[in-house]
Chain A
């Protein structure tokens, strides 16, 4: 099932809980303390090809997972990693666990020099047990057992070895063969000794591999093994981890939690378990039901009612995350939220659902992954990848309404790219159903700037700008409107503007209640917009949208991807000082049309009025690595044209 480590949708996502990267590392094949030196960790033994692009080489990584009964398992991890330079953090040894469901039984580490000579060891008492609770979470059971090992000479090898006991097994660890980028793998294996009660399902990604299956003492043993995987160094337009790295997803079929049995055999059954665990927690007090009734008495349509109730939710509750024990899966009761006026994503969604139910509107919770770095979901492989929940309100004839219940400011029905365009598991009375959240193309996320600028004799300028922003492009302005003071809003705008010396003399933000839209109107006093020599004026007419990023000129080894697109259109009308004529307008019309995006420029000079129109669109795309050069070329041209300079000379 899913751990709903909730993620707070606001404040530019800074508060997103930082999941500690849990590297499921190796197993204890021999006792560390029995030995002194280990020739197998001689650095000379690393194959040449594994050193390319690598900061570290995983020499041996073994995960051994033993399931005992429906709710208990032991994981042993052994990882030997050679650090080639000081650019990695494999010397930071962390075991993340939940104090409610697991216990670190053993943990130790050792450090070997480049020849494999033992330098030092760490025992359990050398590790510190610290809190893993993230910023923005009031309480959970997250703990980390932590230590650091250092040596003065690279390369060196660290062997990290630990064992965890679990008393609740809603999932198995996946086999992420490449734990991090810039890391090569020499040997990695995963051995699962299975209790039939739990069952197993698995699926390989980006690697062609099948386990060897053997019977051992009445149990079935599954063993995967991989060797010699070279390191990978990322650059821009990266696909999701799951789409490029070799890994095997491994999941139980059955599990048990809070004395309730659950199944992951299908999405339907997964949803049914969530429903069972949260059954009866949606009762609201009569006083609230009455309040909702009277609040919505004067409006007719469901949409209007939903809007009023959503506003009630936003004005009266706030996001607070408490996830102790099964609190990661089970919601606070609706009446608790009603009394305390706070809850996490499950609790606020459940509360909203309950309020709607009280006036006869049906809605369903929908489990999703939040943020931009999400795991891939295979329709035919039910797995617990979710970390957030939103609300779906089915509509007849029109598109469903979706609500983000943790947002204080979002207009009704707006999810934002935090949860848009991805799979969600709808929790219906009939069980789970895999659906997709709304998809927004580059046409939705748009910013339309219209500016008039008058340039003075010395190159100074006054500019009046009207900026209409939508969807993604509007999010930060909505936050700024509510969270920042007037002075801070101006400072925020100043940061967006790439001019050398200017003042914001006026700023007005208007938000729409109906749609994700912010109209930002502002005025700038620019000390030096155009460069001035004794006879000439140099003007870069692209006032507001200069791009400077170009993907690096490196050979591309993986496909390219852009998850979402956007549209920027600028129309800028300049009035130039009297007596000047154009000496050089490099290009007055320019068009680029590619798979990745489109770019157009139009420049027109009539009398003392110069009109500059720029349109830039980035699309969502997935392309093979061969297209990288074309993508890079697109950006090279855009960056060049964005800097285009017009030269005016005095007649």
Chain B
């Protein structure tokens, strides 16, 4: 089960049935029962409840601009002291060149005092505008006279020049929502489509034909009004091992499909993937970066001045280009699918976003005759992409697909130490849109692999002291993670993180790496160590756990149950082989029992095989494989049990005894 959500997609079409929308909410008309409420009966622990959350959207013409006007209306009941935080309001908006404007803010606190409703308004001078950055501002205010039991209510309008993609609307919040609705009123010449991310049906879903008054000049035109409403939506609770909670929040997204003016030509907006691709290819900040020779000329010349590509095979060439972009431009932490600056400028600044770096890579590859295409992605934190309709807003990452030496691979030059053929962990989000051919196509993003193999050689003496080596082979994402640490920490910091925090009294004689920077090879690390008080010595007995913290010491799955899938992102393979040499004259008293255990429907295996190599030396092989990147919530309890047994086995205890002479 991959998606617990249904992605419902449909054109906004007029339905013949229209239900009655009851109890129209009116600003300031507060129900006394709500003021008297002390707990919310559907969630008695809720610190606050959103009684009403509504937006009504309509199209207007302002001067030369088409605008969408959003009227928001929110009413919240505060139920305990922790709920007072909901009285602090921030409304961020895109203020750049008046793209969005916020107005008509009205906010009132209601309290019941001696049986009467007392209103306290937020004064205009107490509404602040913070210019957060060049293009983004925030309206901020706080409600006066708020106490436990208060109801706070506010409304505001947002005018946006963007009429193609409307603002997303969430029916669900971190606190319960008693009623939420999304209403949109548009003239007939706009065709919008909706994408509903819902796990439950709407309580009201209606549409009807209406006349819209567009002012004296235009007069009345025909239009439609759509309404989606949900009642009693529970609070959303955060859990770990997940892509983003927004993937699990009841949501609606609306986008313009086409524009069909009364006396004009129909204009399609992203009506098909094919059109979308065409448009993107013409976009100066996207296709313009890699389709025009002029744009990439400077960067190519820089590259060619230090690389002789004539003699290179296409795969060597692709690797050289990849390394060039990776090493000459530092990632600035920004995402995005576009390159807002030209490659020349990006290279000169030695700093760029995901889009700037990977489109530069794409452009260079293409101009050197390598078969390469962009692939648009949505990172794990940005939400799961849908393939039903070409909505560009869902993408925030671009990587490059290359076909060299008969192999198809995805390249991501964003971060240092990312090997050729890998994408960042954040990209492991099931699928991406490959922009090749006429309409492009959706391709699965193969789940990555995390492999780690550790070999421990441990020699014990009679006093319980140990010395030996730990050799670790890191592959896939394990190597990427580890290289990042090795190359950004001092040796001391690295050792602390790698081993000293688990075994504080370890003395490291040396640590050596192989392929520290050569990302195409396996990363190998070898540590020579001594530990003074390693084994417990009591009389003739020696007790020891030889795993050196390389196994699981506690279960990573602590919660009793779980409501959402466990999304690990990659497949995991961890192997630990321990060879222990007992002090002279000691023999093993008890050997742990082996186990060979599988997790559900081919979900994973764990093997634990102890064995004697000779008198006084023992080998223990631990091998763990998790074979799925995502596990369903129903599998949670099995995974938890699986790890319980792993912990039990890996926290083993060997008992050795001095042999009687």
State whether B142 touches A138 (Cβ < 8 A).
Answer: yes
For B538, give its contact among A87, A151, A647 (CB under 8 Å). Answer: A647
Binds B, one of A43-51, A194-202, A249-257, A478-486: A478-486
Asked if A494 and B488 make an inter-chain contact with CB atoms under 8 angstroms apart, the answer reads no
Chain A residue contacts of B167, Cβ below 8 A: none
- Among residues of B, the one whose C-beta sits closest to the C-beta of A534 is B590
The complex places the Cα of A458 from the Cα of B505 at a distance, in Å, of 31
- Which of A152, A500, A535, A636 interacts with B647 by CB under 8 Å? A500
Q: Is the CB of A482 within 8 A of B81?
A: yes
Distance, CA A234 to CA B348, complexed state (A): 36
Q: Which of A510-558 contact B (CB under 8 A)?
A: 527-528, 531, 533-536, 538, 548-550, 552, 554
Contacts A501-B554, A552-B496, A647-B541; A342 near B533 (Cβ below 8 A): no
Cα of A647 to Cα of B655 in the assembled complex, Å:
10
A550 to B504, CA, bound (A): 6
Q: Which of A108-161 contact B (CB under 8 A)?
A: 120, 128-131, 133, 138-139, 148, 150-152
Contacting pair B351 A150 (CB below 8 A) = yes
**Centre residue among A501, A554, A636 by max chain B CB count within 10 A:** A501
- Among A139, A486, A647, contact of B140 (Cβ-Cβ < 8 Å): A139
Pick from B140, B329, B538: contact of A138, CB under 8 Å: B140
Alpha-carbon distance between A151 and B146 when the two chains are bound, in angstroms: 52
The tally of residues in B whose CB lies under 8 Å from a CB in A reads 63
CB-defined contacts of A538 to chain B, threshold 8 Å? 543, 653
Stretch in B131-139, B286-294, B310-318, B599-607 touching the partner: B131-139
Contact between B543 and A483, CB atoms less than 8 A apart: no
Pairwise interchain contact B590-A536, C-beta atoms closer than 8 A: yes
Complex Cα gap A457–B120 (Å): 65
CB distance from B323 to the nearest CB of A (A): 12
Distance, CA A550 to CA B533, complexed state (A):
15
Task: Tell me if B330 and A501 are in contact (CB < 8 A).
Answer: no
| Those of B342-373 within 8 Å (CB) of chain A | 348-351
Q: Which of A184-192, A315-323, A607-615 is the contact stretch?
A: A315-323
A602 within 8 A of partner (CB) = no
- B-side contacts of A339, CB under 8 Å: 120, 144-145
Whether B140 pairs with A494 at a CB distance below 8 angstroms is no
Q: How far is the CB of B69 from chain A (nearest CB, A)?
A: 27
Bitwise, B538-558 to A at CB < 8 A (1) or not (0) is: 110101000000000111001
Q: Who on chain A is nearest to B145 by CB?
A: A341
Q: Contact: B536 with A131, CB < 8 Å?
A: no
CB atoms of B543 and A128 under 8 A apart: no
Residues in A whose Cβ lies below 8 Å from that of B147? 315-316, 341
Interface flag for B492 (CB, 8 Å): yes
Task: Tell me the bound Cα distance from A130 to B492 in angstroms.
Answer: 37
Q: How far, in Å, is A537 (CB) from chain B's closest CB?
A: 10
Do B538 and A586 touch across chains, with their CB atoms under 8 A apart? yes
A506 on the interface (CB 8 Å rule)? no
Does B514 sit within 8 A of A, measured CB to CB? no
Whether, in the assembled complex, B328 has its beta carbon less than 8 Å from a beta carbon of chain A, the answer is: yes
Contact B590 A535 (CB under 8 A): yes
Interface residues of A in 94-117 (CB under 8 A from B): none
Give Cα distance in the complex from A175 to B564, angstroms: 53
C-alpha gap A600/B502 in the complex (Å) = 23
Cβ contact of B653, chosen from A120, A499, A533, cutoff 8 A? A533
CB-contacts of B95-137 with A (<8 A) = 120, 126, 128, 130-134
Cα–Cα distance between A639 and B506 once the two chains are bound (Å)? 13
A150 touching B350 in the complex, CB below 8 Å, given contacts A549-B504, A550-B505: yes
Question: Does B26 sit at the interface, judged by CB under 8 A?
Answer: no
Contacts A482-B81, A500-B647, A501-B644: A647 and B350 contacting too (C-beta < 8 A)? no
CB distance from A375 to the nearest CB of B (A): 28
| Contacts A538-B653, A584-B536; A500 near B133 (Cβ below 8 A) | no
Q: Are A647 and B145 in contact (CB under 8 A)?
A: no
Say yes or no: A500 contacts B541, CB within 8 Å. Answer: no
Q: Across the interface, name the chain B residue whose C-beta is closest to A338.
A: B145
Q: Which of B350, B553, B655 contacts A533 (CB 8 A)?
A: B655
B529 to chain A, nearest CB (A): 13
Q: A409-B81, A647-B541 are in contact. Are A152 and B330 (CB under 8 A)?
A: yes
Q: Cβ of B45 and Cβ of A527 under 8 Å apart?
A: no
User: Contacts A152-B350, A584-B536; is A647 near B543 (CB within 8 Å)?
Assistant: yes
| Majority-rule SS of A interface residues | mixed
- Decide yes or no: A552 and B492 within 8 Å by CB, A139-B140, A150-B351 being known contacts: yes
Do the beta carbons of A87 and B555 come within 8 Å of each other?
Answer: no
A157 CB, min distance to chain B CBs, angstroms: 15
In the assembled complex, A583 has its CB within 8 A of some CB on chain B: yes
Determine the chain A residues whose CB is within 8 A of the CB of B82 once the complex forms: 482-483
Interface contact B80-A482, CB-CB below 8 Å = yes
A318 and B496 CA atoms in complex are apart in Å by 43
Q: Does B615 contact A (CB under 8 A)?
A: no
B652 CB → nearest A CB, Å = 8
A501 contacts B505, C-beta separation under 8 Å: no
A640 at interface, CB cutoff 8 A = yes
Bound together, the chains give a CA A548 to CA B328 distance in angstroms of 42
Nearest B residue to A55 by beta-carbon distance? B490
Q: In the bound complex, what is the Cα–Cα distance between A552 and B500 (angstroms)?
A: 9
Is A645 an interface residue when CB atoms closer than 8 A count as contact? yes
**How many Å from the CB of A340 to the closest CB on chain B?**
4
> Which of A151, A152, A408 interacts with B81 by CB under 8 Å?
A408
Residues of chain A lying within 8 A (CB to CB) of residue B502:
548
- Chain B residues with CB under 8 Å of A482's CB are 80-82
With contacts A533-B655, A645-B543 known, is A318 near B590, CB below 8 A?
no
Contact of A531 among B140, B538, B653 (CB under 8 A): B653
Q: How far is the CB of B260 from chain A (nearest CB, A)?
A: 41
Point out the residue from B490, B492, B651 that lies within 8 Å of A500, measured CB to CB: B651
User: With contacts A131-B130, A554-B492 known, is A584 near B81, CB below 8 A?
Assistant: no
B521 within 8 A of A: no
Q: A499 to B554, Cβ gap below 8 A?
A: yes
Contact status A636-B543, CB under 8 Å: no
A549 cross-chain contacts in B, Cβ below 8 A = 504
What is the minimal beta-carbon distance from B345 to any residue of chain A, in angstroms? 11
Q: What are the 9 tightest A-B residue pairs by CB atom distance, in nearest-first order?
A: A584-B538, A340-B144, A550-B504, A139-B128, A150-B351, A500-B554, A485-B45, A130-B133, A500-B647
5 A-B pairs besides A583-B541, A647-B538 with CB distance below 8 A are A129-B134, A130-B132, A501-B644, A531-B648, A552-B500
Residues of A within 8 A of B (CB): 86-87, 120, 128-131, 133, 138-139, 148, 150-152, 315-316, 318, 320, 322, 339-342, 408-409, 482-483, 485-486, 491, 494-495, 498-501, 503, 527-528, 531, 533-536, 538, 548-550, 552, 554, 583-584, 586, 635-636, 639-640, 645, 647
